[in-house]
Amino acid sequence: MFQLKSLSKMQKIFFLTFGLGFMIKYNYLLTQIFRAPSWLGGILRNIFLLLLLAYFILPLSKTRKGQKRLIIFSGVFTFIFMANLWYNRYFGNYLGFTDIIVSESIGSPLVVLRHIMNLWDPVFVLDLLIMGYIYPALPRTISPDKGAQQKGQSIGKDRKTRVLVGIILILLLTTQILATNMLMGNERPLDLYERSTGAFTSVYGIIPLYFFEAYHAQFHLNDLDDKPEIPPEISAETLDGEEKIADKDNIIVIQVESLDEKMLGHEYNDREITPFLNDLKEKSLYGENFFTKHVNGSFDADFSLLTSLYPINRTYAFKQNDMSQFATLPRVLQEKGYHTMAFHGNEAEFFHRHQAYPDMGFDEFYSREDFSLEDREMDMEEGYLGINDYDFFKQSLDYLEQGEEPFFAYFITVTSHTPFDFYPEEMMVDEYKDIDDKLLHDFFQSISFVDSAMEMFFAELEERGLKDDSLFVIYSDHDASIDTNEYSSILEFELERNVKKPEHIPLLIKHPEIEAGIIEEKGTITDLAPTILDILGAEDIPEEFLGRTLLAGEEEPVYFLHEFPQIFYREQLFLKELDEITRVGHVKNRENTEVSLSSEQKEKAQLTINFMRAKMQSTLRE
């Protein structure tokens, strides 16, 4: 680092700001976002980077051209860092190559500005601001009287020193890769990548991970020649075959946008946010420990419901996978004589549903193009998310009446999508207007509007004779991810690691012949298809369905197949990294250190993870 002597005071500040900012953000990415598990790999890589900065990057601080390059690099790196930080904050994973090229935009920068950013985020761009501020004051050349001395001392211009340091860097990097890979199991890159991207990052680094992901996505690297066989230990269980409702009653499933479990029953200024759903809850079989699947996006909820499988990270199923190769709930119901319909107020192409839904067995898919703006009752323009939920439900009634009975109708709402500003002024609730937090205010207003829309929908169904002979299943795609002093939608956990928390959502199952009550056992959207078939009296369900009926009365571990798979069991959260499954936290005030996973439960979890990865790889579109 003696090259610092050759720099002016301002150049030293410039370089040290760049180096410190880069190292802080790089290590945050490595440990908190990509979660590289090897401390040895981290230490060796930090030594490598410090030497690289000191002997090869520092000379750039002396020239205007080099200073511009450092500012540009810092800007690009900061952009990548912030994108990963915000993505991780929302989804709990790093922003992968697949996410960048395949994911759909939600269409509004307000989602980031109002929902995902926090007050401390500007700290991570402070280095860039300082560099930009002092750049105009930096000297353009070194002083002539010190030029000879600096020329002699400059390591950047000393060929022998540069060659020597270069050799040391190559040896250091090679040692780091070999030593860390040995600790990770000494596997080839593809196997290590499939096993754990965190481990891959420990061995090869962040940039090689993105290059490998791009190559992997382009050529669909895998060792699968045939359809993977489902292990008998995880295949679907036989149901009791007892009908809980009359044969061939209609089935209406409603997936509500961003409705968390805490919202039901919540009041503000003595005004309930969801009075209709609160009343419906008291008349329903209610899942009080129900959780969503939110790994890649909202479509994970669709996938979980319709296939009874687990979405896995880095997989945009509807766009990347041939959904005709999956056993699905719509096809099972078709075989039972049901007419299958899907309804969504956004464009059909959004998340590639226009191709996935027909492949999965829907007879009709009604989307944005099938709803009239001229006939809408709400005085509001069409939003980027599509038609508002009130008119969406209202106009869907005619399609239901025209459809053949019995029918299976699947509705996906949009109004309460973040940033929660898609609701009509005439439906605003006065009791919520004094909420200072704009995001929370809009959330309460939008959820209140959705509740009113659903109340109208149920009233119209009753008037048209479609309510009493229908089974209703209502749940949410994910929670609202709001955490304020006035209201928090997040189930509180005490965690030892930076992992995504399971998202707690409501589940209502309503039918005149189903007694109201509580389902205490934990479940997820993956369990809904077997539960619906159980209610209908089915004995056998597709072998590939991995969910279980929620009516069995037994608690089983719940899986969330994020980049680092999680297992939630009896209020304790476990994390799978490499071959280890360790406890990383618990629901707040519900710690029970006596709860552990048996060897059979761990084996079943591993078999489930392996099967899901193989299934998704084997069904990739050509």
180-184, 220-224, 524-528, 540-544: range with lowest mean pLDDT: 220-224
* Structure letter (DSSP) for residue 226: S
**Sheet arrangement for strand 504-505:** 504-505, 290-291, 523-524
Clarify whether residues 131 and 254 are in a common domain.
Answer: no
Clarify whether residues 61 and 152 are in a common domain.
Answer: yes
Beta bridge partners of 560: 566
The whole-model pTM stands at 0.89
Cα(572)–Cα(593) distance, integer angstroms: 8
pLDDT at 108: 52
Cα(399)–Cα(436) distance, integer angstroms: 41
What is the rounded average pLDDT of the residues 520-549? 95
Clarify whether residues 367 and 450 are in a common domain.
Answer: yes
Q: What is the separation of C-alpha 418 from the centre of its chain, rounded to a whole number of angstroms?
A: 14
Question: What is the percent of the chain where pLDDT is above 90?
Answer: 61
pLDDT at 145: 47
Last residue of a domain, one of 197, 219, 241: 219
Clarify whether residues 365 and 263 are in a common domain.
Answer: yes
**SS3 labels along 369-392:** HHCCCCCCCCCCCCECCECCHHHH
Q: pLDDT by residue (tens digit) across 234-256?
A: 988 888 888 888 778 999 999 99
Question: What is the percent of the chain where pLDDT is above 70?
Answer: 92
> Could you identify the residue written with the tokens 């690691």?
497
pLDDT at 223: 52
Cα(351)–Cα(319) distance, integer angstroms: 7
Clarify whether residues 162 and 258 are in a common domain.
Answer: no
Answer whether residue 149 shows pLDDT above 70: no
Q: pLDDT by residue (tens digit) across 549-565?
A: 999 888 899 999 998 89
**Sheet arrangement for strand 517-519:** 364-366, 339-344, 407-412, 250-256, 470-476, 507-510, 285-287, 517-519
pLDDT at 325: 94
Q: Which residues of 6-34 are buried (b: 16+ CB within 10 A; e: fewer)?
A: bbbeebebbbbbbbebbeebbebbbeebb
Q: pLDDT by residue (tens digit) across 403-443?
A: 899 999 999 999 998 888 888 888 999 999 999 999 999 99
> In a 10 Å sphere around its CB, with 0-12 CB exposed, 13-18 middle and 19+ buried, how is residue 570 labelled?
middle
Q: What DSSP string describes 417-464?
A: -TT---S-GGG--GGGTT---HHHHHHHHHHHHHHHHHHHHHHHHHHT
Clarify whether residues 166 and 274 are in a common domain.
Answer: no
The verdict on residue 186 lying in a domain is yes
Confidence of residue 105 (pLDDT cuts 50, 70, 90): low
Are 67 and 14 in contact by the 8 Å Cβ rule? The answer is: yes
Answer whether residue 377 shows pLDDT above 50: yes
Beta bridge partners of 196: none
Cα(555)–Cα(620) distance, integer angstroms: 33
pLDDT at 217: 67
Q: pLDDT by residue (tens digit) across 385-414?
A: 889 999 999 999 999 999 899 999 999 999
Task: Name, in order, each residue with C-beta under 8 angstroms of 292's C-beta and a sequence gap of 6 or more.
Answer: 300, 301, 475, 476, 477, 478, 479, 503, 505, 524, 525
Cα(22)–Cα(419) distance, integer angstroms: 32
Are 266 and 487 in contact by the 8 Å Cβ rule? The answer is: yes
Cα(8)–Cα(280) distance, integer angstroms: 72
Q: Residue 550: count other Cβ atoms within 10 Å of its Cβ.
A: 25
pLDDT at 110: 52
Clarify whether residues 283 and 143 are in a common domain.
Answer: no
Clarify whether residues 38 and 121 are in a common domain.
Answer: yes
Q: pLDDT by residue (tens digit) across 41-63?
A: 899 999 999 999 988 898 888 88
The verdict on residue 601 lying in a domain is no
Residue 341 is encoded by which pair of tokens? 């319909």
Clarify whether residues 318 and 448 are in a common domain.
Answer: yes
pLDDT at 451: 97
Phi, psi (degrees; rounded to nearest 5) at 160: -65, -45
The verdict on residue 178 lying in a domain is yes
Helix ranges, 292-388 (H): 299-307, 317-320, 329-335, 353-360
Owning domain of residue 392: 250-515+528-533
Last residue of a domain, one of 469, 504, 533: 533
Q: pLDDT by residue (tens digit) across 469-515?
A: 899 999 999 999 898 889 999 999 999 988 889 999 999 999 999 99
The verdict on residue 544 lying in a domain is no
**If residue 558 lies in a helix (H) or strand (E), which one and from where to where?**
strand 558-560
pLDDT at 525: 98
The verdict on residue 23 lying in a domain is yes
The verdict on residue 582 lying in a domain is no
Answer whether residue 225 shows pLDDT above 80: no
Are 184 and 38 in contact by the 8 Å Cβ rule? The answer is: yes
What is the rounded average pLDDT of the residues 212-229? 69
pLDDT at 144: 47
Clarify whether residues 381 and 282 are in a common domain.
Answer: yes
The verdict on residue 497 lying in a domain is yes
Task: Name, in order, each residue with C-beta under 8 angstroms of 159's C-beta and a sequence gap of 6 or more.
Answer: none
Number of domains in the chain: 2
Clarify whether residues 207 and 296 are in a common domain.
Answer: no
Measured in residues, the chain has a length of 622
Handedness of CA 456, 457, 460, 466 (dihedral sign): negative
Higher-scoring residue by pLDDT: 191, 512: 512
Handedness of CA 531, 533, 538, 540 (dihedral sign): negative
> In a 10 Å sphere around its CB, with 0-12 CB exposed, 13-18 middle and 19+ buried, how is residue 51 labelled?
middle
Cα(263)–Cα(269) distance, integer angstroms: 14
Residue type, 133: Y
Q: What is the CATH number of the domain that holds 283?
A: 3.40.720.10
The verdict on residue 586 lying in a domain is no
Confidence of residue 25 (pLDDT cuts 50, 70, 90): very high
Tell which residue, 13, 33, 37, has the closest CA to residue 25. 33
Tell which residue, 155, 124, 146, has the closest CA to residue 55. 155
Q: pLDDT by residue (tens digit) across 122-141?
A: 999 999 999 999 999 887 65
Clarify whether residues 196 and 310 are in a common domain.
Answer: no
Confidence of residue 183 (pLDDT cuts 50, 70, 90): confident
Q: Say if residue 37 is preceded by a cis peptide, omega within 30 of 0.
A: no
Q: Please report, for residues 257, 341, 534, 608, 610, the alpha-carbon distance to residue 544 in angstroms, rounded to integers and kept in the order given.
A: 28, 23, 16, 11, 14
Confidence of residue 566 (pLDDT cuts 50, 70, 90): very high
Residue 498 is encoded by which pair of tokens? 């930076």
pLDDT at 455: 98
